[in-house]
Amino acid sequence: MIRYFLCGIILCMCSIGIYYAQTKAPAPFGPVPSENQMRWQEMEYYAFVHFSLNTYTDQSWGFGNEDVKLFNPEKADCRQWARICKEARMKGIIITAKHHCGFCLWPSKYTEYSVKNAPWKNGKGDMVREMADACKEYGLKLGIYLSPWDRNSPVYGKPEYITYFRNQLTELLTNYGQIFEVWFDGANGGNGYYGGANETRTINRTTYYDWKNTYALIRKLQPNIVIWNDGGDRGDLRWVGTEEGFVGETNWSLLNATGEVEWGMLHFGLETGNSWVPAEVNTSIRPEWFYHPNEDNKVKTVPFLMETYYNSIGHNGSLLLNFPIMPNGLIHPNDEKAALEFAEAVKESFAVNLAETSKAEASNVRGNAKEFGPDMAIDNNKDTYWATDDNVTKASLTIDLGNPTLFNRFLVQEYIRLGQRVKAFTVEALVDGNWKEVVKATTIGYKRILRFPSLKATKVRFTITDSKSCPVISNIGIYNAPVFLNAPSIARNQSGEITITTNDIGPIFYYTLDGSESTTKSNKYTMPFPADGKVEVKAIAYDPASGKCSPIGHEKFDISKKDWKIVGINDEKASTIFGGNTSTVWHQKSDKKMPIDLVIDLGNKYNVCGFKYLPDQAKWSSGIITNYQFYVSTDNIEWNLIDQGEFSNIKNNPLWQIKNFSLVNARYIRLRALRNTSGDDVAGYAEVDVITK
C-alpha cells in the first residue's frame, strides 16, 4: 500500500515538473533590444529643435562663413520649447548643438565660432545649458545633435579634425547631464568656408570618422545613451530612408551588424538581420528643418500629422518631430497650435480601449498556463503577454465585445524583449453572425496600428498566419477613433484654371480668392474655374454628415503662365513643368556634361525677385539639381547672373526650393543645372516658377 502511495507521489511530482517545464517562458528568438534601446522605444515620441546661424540667413544649410554677430535671439526661451513639448505629450528634446555650418550653440573652448562670440547675452550664453535645465524642469530627456561635417573648421577632411570632433563631443556628453540620444547626420564633405579656404573637400564617410573608437568614447561618457547615425556605421537606431514621416508597412527592427545598407533595408528593415537596429522616423512640422518665414502657412495640419503618427509609431517606429526655432528664439504660435492639437487628437483616438472590458480566448495557450493566456494581451500591462507552445507559430486570439460595437482601429504589440517574430497576420470581425476579414498586415514589432472603415461587430479575431517562432503578444487594443478631414489640395494649370481636390470621399469645398479665411459661407466649389494672375486661394472641405470642416488649404499663385515657352526645346512633354501637377516630371538630357540650361520665355517683361524649383517627386529619382546658377535677360541675348548656390538637403527632402534676390527686370530666365544628386548629365523638373513684385 505504501509502495503505491509513494509511486503516486512520484508521478504527481513528475506531472508538476512537466507542467512547469511546459509553462516556462519562451526563450529569446534572434536579436533582441538592449535596455537602452528598450527605454528609447518606450518613449515613442520626442522633439527635434533646429536653430543656428542659417536661421538668420533663410538658408537650409549654412556654408560656415555666416557672421557670428547674426545670432542674437532677443526672446530666446528654452523653457517655452520644453513647455510646448511637454504639453504635446513628447518625452524628450534633441537640440542641434552644431549643424553643418559649424556654429556651436554652447561656448566650446575648441572654436571661436560659437555663442561665446555672439551678441546674445554678451557672449555669456549657453543654449545647450538652457535646454538641459528646461528639460530637467519639465521632466523631459535631453538629446544632442552634433554634425560630423563642419563647413567652418579649417581642418575638416584632415586627420586632426577627428580630435577636434571628439573634443566637442566630450564637452557635450560631460557637461549637461544624462543624454538619452546622440544624433549624427550623414551629410558630409562638400564645398564650404573651411577657415577661409573656400573649397570642396571630400571624405570617405565609412572610415574618416573612425566610428568604432568614437562610439567607445560615447558609451564610456554616457552608458545609457542610444546612437543614431546615418554617417556610414551602424549605431543603435536607423534612418528610414526619407524625411517625409513614414517607414515601411513591413518594418523589421533588424539589420546586419556589418555590410552595405540599401534603401530597402532602411525602410523595411531586414528580416534575417543579425543585429537589433530599430527605426526612428524623423520629420519636421514644417516642410523644412530650419525656420523660413514663407512656411508660416505651411505648418502640417492635424490630419497630416495623424497620418505621420500611423506611419511611424503605428508602423513599429518612433517619431522624432522637429520644431524650427524662429530668429527671436521661440517656437512659432502656428507650430505650437498644430503640435498641441495633434496631441489632443492622438489622445482622443486612443482614449477608450474596447478590448480591456472584453473577454478573450485563444486557439493555443502555452502549457495551458494562465500566466500566458489570452487575457494577458488585454490587461493593459506591457510586461505580460499571450504566448503559444514552442511548436505553434500559427494561432488566433478572439475578443468578445459582448454587443455590436463600432470600431475602426486595431492595435497590437509584441513583447520585443524576446525578439520580433510575427511575419503576417489578419484581423476579422463577426458582423451579423458572419466572419468578415477586415484587414491583413505583415510585421508587428513594438507597436502596429491598423486603420479601416468603421464597422460594428460582436467579436474580433486576431490570427497570426506566419511567425518565425511562437508568438508573444503583449497588448491588443480596439478603438473607435474620430475621422479627420484632410486639407484640400489646390492647383492651377498653365491656362490659369484652379482645381480643388482631396483624398477624402464626398466632402463639399468652399474657397476664397483674396486670402481671407474660408468658411461654409464662402464660394462653393463645383468645378475647376479660371483665376489668372496673382491670387491667394484658401479652401476647406466640409462633411455634411458629421458637420466637420477640414483644416484650411492655402496656396499663392504668381503671374500667369499662359504665354510661357521653353526656348530651343521641341519636346511636347516639357510644358508639364508649368502645368501645376507636381506628380509629373520632365527630364532634360544632355549629350555633353553638365551644365544644362533651361531657358524660359515669360512672354512679357516682369519685375522678378526670385524663382522656385520643384524636383521630381519620385523617390531617389535622377536629375535632382543640387547646384545651380540663375540668369535673367530682357532680350535673350545679354544675360546677367543674378543668383547661384545649392539646394541643400534636396535629395532627402525634395521640396519646393525657393530663392529670393534683388528686384530685376526680365522677360527670359535661365536655370543652369551645375550638378545633380546622381552625378550624371540629367536635369529633372516637376515645376518651375518665378516670384514677382
> What secondary structure, in 3-state letters, does 130-192 show?
HHHHHHHHHCCEEEEEECCCCCCCCCCCCCHHHHHHHHHHHHHHHCCCCEEEEEECCCCCCEE
For residue 128, the surrounding DSSP H or E stretch is: helix 127-138
CATH code, 70: 3.20.20.80
Type of residue found at 403: N
Q: What is the reported pLDDT for 572?
A: 86
CA distances from 3 to 10, 11, 303, 601 (A): 11, 12, 75, 108
pLDDT tens for 21-66 read 458 999 999 999 999 999 999 999 999 999 999 999 999 999 999 9
pLDDT tens for 274-319 read 999 999 999 999 999 999 999 999 999 999 999 999 999 999 999 9
How far apart are alpha carbons 540 and 552 in whole angstroms?
A: 5
Position 4 pLDDT exceeds 80 = no
Q: How many CB atoms lie within 10 A of CB 458?
A: 16
pLDDT tens for 430-482 read 999 999 999 999 999 999 999 999 999 999 999 999 999 999 999 999 999 99
3-state DSSP percent of the chain in helix, strand and coil, to 5: 20, 35, 45
Do 451 and 594 lie in one domain? The reply is: no
Asked if the peptide bond before residue 31 counts as cis, ω within 30 degrees of 0, the response is no
Task: Give the largest Cα separation in the chain, rounded.
Answer: 118
Residue 651 C-alpha cell reads as 535629395
- The answer to the question of residue 456 being in a domain is yes
Do 531 and 569 lie in one domain? The reply is: no
Answer for the pair 178, 130: CB distance below 8 angstroms, yes or no: no
- The answer to the question of residue 10 being in a domain is no
Do 180 and 267 lie in one domain? The reply is: yes
Answer for the pair 567, 592: CB distance below 8 angstroms, yes or no: no
Residue 437 C-alpha cell reads as 476579414
- The answer to the question of residue 12 being in a domain is no
Q: What is the reported pLDDT for 7?
A: 47
Position 327 pLDDT exceeds 80 = yes
- For 202-221, what is the mean pLDDT? 94
Q: What is the reported pLDDT for 352?
A: 97
Q: How many CB atoms lie within 10 A of CB 304?
A: 18
Instruction: Quickly state the pLDDT bin for 10 (edges 50, 70, 90).
Output: very low
Position 19 pLDDT exceeds 50 = no
- The answer to the question of residue 525 being in a domain is yes
- The answer to the question of residue 63 being in a domain is yes
How far apart are alpha carbons 559 and 596 in whole angstroms?
A: 25
Q: What is the reported pLDDT for 557?
A: 96
More confident residue, 412 or 6: 412
CA distances from 620 to 255, 263, 267, 684 (A): 21, 9, 13, 12
pLDDT tens for 367-403 read 999 999 999 999 999 999 999 999 999 999 999 999 9
Phi, psi of 511, deg, nearest 5: -145, 160
CA 53, 58, 64, 67 torsion-angle sign: negative
pLDDT tens for 472-529 read 999 999 999 998 899 999 999 999 999 999 988 889 999 999 999 999 999 999 999 9
The total of structural domains in the chain comes to 4
- The answer to the question of residue 671 being in a domain is yes
Do 595 and 496 lie in one domain? The reply is: no
- The answer to the question of residue 3 being in a domain is no
Do 254 and 161 lie in one domain? The reply is: yes
Q: Domain end: 451, 479, 507, which one? A: 479
Instruction: Quickly state the pLDDT bin for 232 (edges 50, 70, 90).
Output: low
Residue 179 C-alpha cell reads as 543624454
Do 344 and 366 lie in one domain? The reply is: no
Q: What is the DSSP letter of 377?
A: G
Residue with cell string 512656411: 295
Mean pLDDT score across all residues of the chain = 94
Do 191 and 67 lie in one domain? The reply is: yes
Position 15 pLDDT exceeds 70 = no
Residues spanned by the domain of 515: 489-557
CATH code, 502: 2.60.40
3-state secondary structure at position 217 = helix
Do 333 and 207 lie in one domain? The reply is: yes
**Angle, helices 127-138/78-87, rounded to nearest 10 degrees:** 40
What sections of 515-640 are H helices per DSSP? none
For residue 38, the surrounding DSSP H or E stretch is: helix 35-43
216 CB-side CA count, 13 A: 4
Q: What is the reported pLDDT for 231?
A: 60
How far apart are alpha carbons 600 and 506 in whole angstroms?
A: 40
Q: Domain end: 349, 384, 407, which one? A: 349
Answer for the pair 151, 198: CB distance below 8 angstroms, yes or no: no
Position 6 pLDDT exceeds 70 = no
Contacting residues for 570 by C-beta, under 8 A, at least 6 apart: none
- For 98-126, what is the mean pLDDT? 98
Do 327 and 379 lie in one domain? The reply is: no
- The answer to the question of residue 345 being in a domain is yes
CA distances from 672 to 422, 613, 617, 668, 678 (A): 51, 12, 20, 13, 16
- For 254-270, what is the mean pLDDT? 93
Phi, psi of 484, deg, nearest 5: -110, 135
Q: Domain end: 457, 479, 501, which one? A: 479
Position 668 pLDDT exceeds 80 = yes
Position 530 pLDDT exceeds 70 = yes
Tell me the three-class secondary structure of 523-591, residue by residue: EEECCCEECCCCEEEEEEEEECCCCEECCCEEEEECCCCCCCEECCCCCHHHHHHHCCCCCCCEEEECC
For residue 625, the surrounding DSSP H or E stretch is: strand 625-633
CATH code, 461: 2.60.120.260
Kindly state the percentage of the chain with pLDDT values over 70. 97
Buried b (16+ CB within 10 A) or exposed e, 509-535: bbbbbeeeebeeebeebeeeeebeeeb
Do 256 and 307 lie in one domain? The reply is: yes
Q: What is the reported pLDDT for 113?
A: 98
How far apart are alpha carbons 391 and 396 in whole angstroms?
A: 15
Do 165 and 285 lie in one domain? The reply is: yes
Q: What is the reported pLDDT for 205?
A: 86
Position 630 pLDDT exceeds 50 = yes
- For 551-562, what is the mean pLDDT? 94
Answer for the pair 441, 249: CB distance below 8 angstroms, yes or no: yes
Do 634 and 534 lie in one domain? The reply is: no
Q: What is the reported pLDDT for 620?
A: 73
